[in-house]
Amino acid sequence: MHGYEMIQEIAERSGGAWKPSPGSVYPTLQLLEDEGLIASASEGGKKLFSLTESGRSAADEGPDAPWEEASRGIDFEALGEIRQAGFGLMEAFGQVWKTGNKEQREKALTVINEARKKLYLILADED
């Protein structure tokens, strides 16, 4: 697999709870290759990685996969609802920002800032 495929696979296996950045994946792959735990080969302009025998042994002896830990205890139905609500909010805000006048943009910004404050007040058990 190449690095981008690994990022996508981790995101999928964790149910979207964890999607590592390229800035963390590629240096880690280089480190693992330097340690002899993975090997790389170029194919079609992409660098493909695979476990070495040492890498497979280390993986078998190691802890649970990080994506299993990242997704443990997550209510994926609620997570989907939260994402949908967040994306809907940002879509509406973006529409006001693109097509609204200055006064409408200022009102929209006030709504977003008030919503953020109200969310933190929920954690503080205040109304």
Span 22-57, pLDDT tens digits: 999 999 999 999 999 999 999 888 899 999 999 999
Cβ atoms of 61 and 54 closer than 8 Å: no
Quote the longest CA-to-CA distance of the chain: 64
Residue with tokens 């149910």: 15
pLDDT at res. 115: 94
**In the structure encoding, which two tokens stand for residue 118, read together?**
């109200």
pLDDT at res. 73: 67
Residue with tokens 């943009």: 105
| Phi (first) and psi of residue 50, to 5 degrees | -145, 155
Low pLDDT (below 50) residues in the chain:
none
Among residues 34, 39, 29, the alpha carbon closest in space to that of 6 is found at 29
Q: Tell me the Cα Rg of the chain.
A: 22
- Cα gap 115→18, rounded to integer Å: 25
- Considering the chain, what percentage of its residues have pLDDT values greater than 90? 61
Cβ atoms of 25 and 37 closer than 8 Å: no
Number of other residues whose CB lies within 10 A of the CB of residue 11: 16
- Cα gap 22→9, rounded to integer Å: 13
Among residues 116, 96, 115, the alpha carbon closest in space to that of 106 is found at 96
